[in-house]
Every structure is written in C-alpha cells, then in structure tokens.
Chains A and B, each alone.
Chain A
C-alpha cells in the first residue's frame, strides 16, 4: 500500500505530474473558450436587441437551440457531426482520407457556443439597463453609432454585465469536465486513469474535486480584482 503522498508526487510513479497536465488542459480550454464565447455572445445580443424583427428572430433561435440542448449532447454533435461532415467533404477530393477531429477544438467550439448563448442573455439585459439618453447624448455630441457603442455604451455595459459574466465563467470552468467524455486529457480524465491504475478512486476523484474548488476560489479572487478595477474607472469620471 503506497502512501497518499507517494501517489500524488511528481515522480515517475506518482500521478502529480499527470494531474498537473490535466489542470493545464482544463485551464487553457476554459481560457481559450472565454473570448470566443464572449465575442459570439455579444454579436448575438446585438442581433437580439436590433430593431429588425428578422434579426431578433435569428438571434432568439440561436439561444433557444443552444440553451435547450444538454452540453454533453452539444459536444457529441460537434465532435461526431464535424468529423462526419468534414470527412465527407474531404472524400470528394481524396476518397481514402480519414479525418480526425481534435477533441480540444471540438470542446472549444461546443463550450463556446453554449457559453455564448447564455452570455447573449446577460449582454441583452445589460443593454436594456442602459437608458436611451446615453445613445442620444453620444449622437448629440457628434459621435458616430460605432463610436457611441465603443466609447459610451461598452464601458457601462461591461460594468453591468460583469456579475452575470463571472457567474458564466464559473459555469464554464465546471463544464470543461465534460470534454473528458471525448477523450481530452483534462483533470477528470487524468484522475480516472490514475484511479483505474492505482485503485484509489476516492483519493483521485476527491483531489479532482478539490482542484476544481481551488480553481473556483482563484477565479473569484480574479473576478474581485476586475470588479474593483472597473469600479475605480466609474468613480473617476
């Protein structure tokens, strides 16, 4: 019976380095997904608060679909769907080609799409919280619509949307655990392997849970720092 510390050490028979690699994969997946999700979410929110009914309809369909599907199913749809789709497209040119989708990219796209559909709702309610007078004030001092958006609306929008977005970030961090189902070596995957090999399942899954908790705690420190920074800019006007 090996001791707990030997199992978690960073040596050749310890699993510390493998789990650390899993943490790296989880964190980098979440960090790469965040800007993608924010960008799509913002664009969808713009569509949903547009004065054009067609634009609003298109945005609402997007949100309805990706908020209604289970995250795991979205991941499988992207993973297998893209694999089959690209394979058939490639086979038109080269009949014997075999396409393998990178599970990291599939995870990024699936989680980004889910994140963006929730983020668009957060952005939308933030847009509604900004009074019309802000736009009119921007136009009346001669700013173009684009400038008004960038200089007047966005700084306020970020401040209002920040609590909702930080909530979504914590959800995203937890959702990354799902990519272990398509074979990406994240925290859960690495601890499952360690658990299967060493038969210390409770230890390794407990460690995995604690790592997620630690990531959540670190994030909340980061979020507090960002909130203070954004709040300071508000006080300075």
Chain B
C-alpha cells in the first residue's frame, strides 16, 4: 500500500509531439505577415504623406465631426429607448389592433434601408411644406440635423423594441407566476424580478445596436450633416488626398473597438454571479 503512493510524483506527462511546419501553419503565417505588411504599409504611407499644414487645418474639424457623430448616436439611442417601451408594450399586448400597428412599425423600419428612411424624412417631408408651416413644424424638418435625429430615433426604436421584447420573453413564465404567487403586482414583478434578469440578456444586443448606429450614422454625411464622415468627405473633396479616408477609418475602428471591449467588460462584470 505504502509502496504505491510514493512514485506517483515522478510520473510525467509525455512530451507534446513536435509541431512541424505543416501547410496550414505556413499559410497562417503568410496571412499574418500579409496583415503586418499591410499595417506597416499604412503607417509608412501616412508618414510619407504627413503634412503638418493639412493636419492643423483638418484635425479640429475631424474632432468636431467625431463629436457630432457621438452626440447624434447618443441622442437617437436615448430617444429610441424611450420610444421603444410603448412599442414593445404594444407588441406584447393581446390587443389585436395594437399588435398589428406595432408589428407594422417594426417591420417597416427593419425592412427598409436607413438611408431610404432618412431621405424619406429629409427630402420627402419637404413635399408637405405648406402643411408643416401651418402647424409650425417646418423649422424642425428644414434642418438636416433634426431630420437625421428623428429618422435615427424612429429606426433604432424599432430595433430596440425587438431587443427588449426578446429579453423579456427570455425570462421564464414561472418567474411571473412565482411573483404573482408572492402577491407582487404586474409592475412590481416587471421592475423587481423580470427586468434585472432581462437586461443581462439584452446587454449584448444593446451594445451591438449602439455599434450599428455608430456605423450607420455615417450616412448622414449624404444629407449634409457634418459628422465624422461628412468632415472626411469635405476634406477629401478639397484636397483629393486619400489619407483623409484612412484617418477616418482609424477613428471609426478605434471607436467601435473601444465600445465593443467596454460592452464585454460590463457583461463580464454583471454576470459574475453566474460564473464559478
């Protein structure tokens, strides 16, 4: 008995088999080196065309464009979140009429391009100028900025309503029943039992929606709002220098990546009780 317990410490795991340079490995390194070369090429290109005059002239406008993009996305996400609550309620209600209206709303805004919706609101509402002037709303729909916020808020409200509905439905029916057995009202159940569980599910889709809005907001440049994309297009049309687009790409990419890692971090943090 005592003899068997001693030598166990000396048993070693067999050495890993040698990793040769298989075709897959060579190909993988070729691709990685290709990316490194591309990155290095980008950096050397940006260095070779470095122009302090150009930078001093356009860097402030890029920053203001970035601010416009962020403000636009923030306002439309918040407005969309507020608007999505009644839509989600209508979508989940048993009332046929409410259900049909909200379904039609969601289907329209998810089924058509954001660009077409923005054009419909910015250019299309101009067709009703006399009527809009009569009710005093023309000042709102004349401005590209307000139209963009309006279109984006309506669009993201449709997506957020679906995210909210999916998250609430992902919480089991037993949770509602248990809460009502404890004597909680519907509203109390929603606030204290359902939403805390649903929002964990909804966090990732919400993060994706914000990222999609940041990327989608580039189209407001077409209706003459000077966001990051708009400033880029203006700079390119004045200088015909391709580096203007590359700087915009770097800015967008770092913005989206920061946000993605932030969402990952928040998710890891709020689901700590679910991990061991």
Contacts and interface: CB of A to CB of B under 8 A. Distances in A.
Given A174-B112, A192-B119, A205-B120, A70 B218 contact: yes
Contacts of A57: 28, 32
B28 A201 contact: no
Contacts of A208: 116, 119-120
A200 interface: yes
Contacts, number: 141
B253 A69 contact: yes
Nearest to B236: A80
Contacts of B249: 69, 73, 77
B69 to A, nearest CB: 10
A188 B113 contact: yes
Given A61-B35, A81-B242, A205 B123 contact: yes
Contact of B111 (A56, A72, A216): A216
Interface residues of B, number: 49
A175 B112 CA distance: 10
B111 A68 contact: no
A28 interface: no
Interface in B221-251: 221-222, 229, 232-233, 236, 242, 245-246, 248-249
Contacts of A181: 219, 222
A99 B248 CA distance: 24
Contacts of B53: none
Interface stretch (B59-67, B125-133, B182-190): B125-133
Contact of B116 (A53, A170, A188): A188
A72 B219 contact: yes
A176 B125 CA distance: 24
A65 B31 contact: no
A78 to B, nearest CB: 10
Contacts of A212: 111-113, 116
Contact of A202 (B128, B229, B236): B128
Interface string B1-44: 00000000000000000000010110111011011000000000
B218 A206 contact: no
A81 B41 CA distance: 14
Interface in A102-118: none
B115 interface: yes
A32 interface: no
A112 to B, nearest CB: 17
Nearest to A200: B127
A47 interface: yes
A199 B128 CA distance: 11
Interface string A53-84: 11111110100110111111100110011001
B107 to A, nearest CB: 7
B218 A73 contact: yes
A160 B120 CA distance: 37
Contacts of A230: none
Contact of A68 (B112, B216, B256): B256
B21 to A, nearest CB: 11
Interface string B108-151: 10011111110110011111100000000000000000000000
B257 interface: yes
A84 B242 contact: yes
A106 to B, nearest CB: 13
A213 interface: yes
Given A71-B215, A84-B242, A212-B111, A54 B32 contact: yes
Contact of A188 (B119, B245, B246): B119
A52 interface: yes
B124 A201 contact: yes
8 contacts: A52-B28, A58-B31, A71-B218, A81-B245, A174-B113, A174-B114, A177-B115, A187-B116
> Sorted from nearest, which 7 A-B pairs have the closest CB atoms?
A55-B28, A54-B28, A58-B31, A202-B124, A177-B113, A70-B218, A70-B215
